Amino acid sequence: MNPEEEKRATPCSSPVFVHNPHLDVMKDDVLYHFALGTATHNLPAMFGDVKFVCVGGSPWRMKSFTEYIAAEIRMEDPESEYPNICAGTDRYAMYKVGPVLSVSHGMGIPSIAIMLHELIKLLHHAHCEDVTIVRIGTSGGIGLEPGTVVVTKKSMDATFLPKFEQVILGKTVERNTDLDQCLAEELLQCSKELNQFETVIGNTMCTLDFYEGQARLDGAFCSYTEKDKQDYLKKASEAGICNIEMESSVFAAMCKLSGLRAAVVCVTLLDRLKGDQMNGSHEVLQSYQLRPQILVGNYIKKLLKAKAGRSCNSATV
């Protein structure tokens, strides 16, 4: 083998990084909000083969994703009910089928951040390598037909800047919210091949609040007019923002810090330029919510099929 061939033949493995020297001297590590721990569970045996992690707000959706992906990658076990790995707590739900882990994260930045701290430590303790993580979620769209799927280019804050502000010891630290552009393009390409629904790549605004923070007129409190709302959303649109949700910025920041290849795939449940209330029929909203999981499920299936021929520059599975 010449050096170039050898390089291609040798998987370029990328571990999941923690950045915390204190972890090295801890006797064991309790992942409290998962009801798991290094002293009580054999994490490498339980999770060492994980290559894909899908996360979403709703525990029900993450269970349904597991059932869906099991059928897609033909690893379903008719005897299995896919038990919740975090059954000892009601903070998060976690399911696993083959190399795919599915974890719920609740709503909002703090809730997903707790989950990600413990997930990153879990993947680290389990010696996982080359992990791809995708948030599959719901969002409000700006000027898009409801049901459109948005793959996030940049996650932006409420002032339309691509950054996440982390408070550490009372001081604010800015973190980069870059996501993997190559992964985003691959997901877009996968959606084109599927040809079941519209998918776009665009910026996503991440807010700390669903009502006043997203310029909704239907919260318990509202001190602005319909025109103020429209002006704000227009400015967001001019900054390339296609949709609004509540977790992408810290997700992007933490995945980047830990070397996880990350994407955010959210369906838009409504067009915020036309309204604020989620008053579509239950069936229609439910069918929209399936779209990110269909897209990501197909992407995972495609990657697992192409396992042998994949080069280290995109994803090594």
75 vs 257, beta carbon nearer a copy of itself: 257
Binding mask 86-105 for a copy of itself (x = CB under 8 A): ----xx--------------
Beta bridge partners of 136: 265
CA distance 147 to 137: 12
CA distance 140 to 143: 10
Residue 60 binds a copy of itself (CB under 8 A): yes
Residue 30 binds a copy of itself (CB under 8 A): yes
Residue 273 binds a copy of itself (CB under 8 A): no
Site for a copy of itself in 141-160 (CB under 8 A): 158-160
Site for a copy of itself in 159-218 (CB under 8 A): 159-160, 166-170, 207-213, 215, 217-218
CA distance 189 to 299: 9
Residue 3 binds a copy of itself (CB under 8 A): no
Phi/psi of residue 139, each to 5°? Answer: -160, 170
Residue 308 binds a copy of itself (CB under 8 A): no
Q: Which position among 46, 75, 114, 194 is part of the footprint of a copy of itself (CB under 8 A)?
A: 114
- The number of beta carbons lying within 10 Å of the beta carbon of residue 110 is 12
CA distance 76 to 97: 8
Give, as one character, the DSSP assignment of residue 132.
E
Give, as one character, the DSSP assignment of residue 178.
B
Phi/psi of residue 208, each to 5°? Answer: -90, 0
Q: Which position among 154, 229, 272, 291 is part of the footprint of a copy of itself (CB under 8 A)?
A: 229
Residue 82 binds a copy of itself (CB under 8 A): no
Q: Are 190 and 240 in contact (CB under 8 A)?
A: no
Residues contributing to the site for a copy of itself (CB under 8 A): 18-23, 26, 29-30, 32-33, 57-60, 90-91, 106-111, 113-114, 116-118, 120-121, 124, 158-160, 166-170, 207-213, 215, 217-224, 226, 228-229, 232, 235, 246, 254, 257-258, 277-279
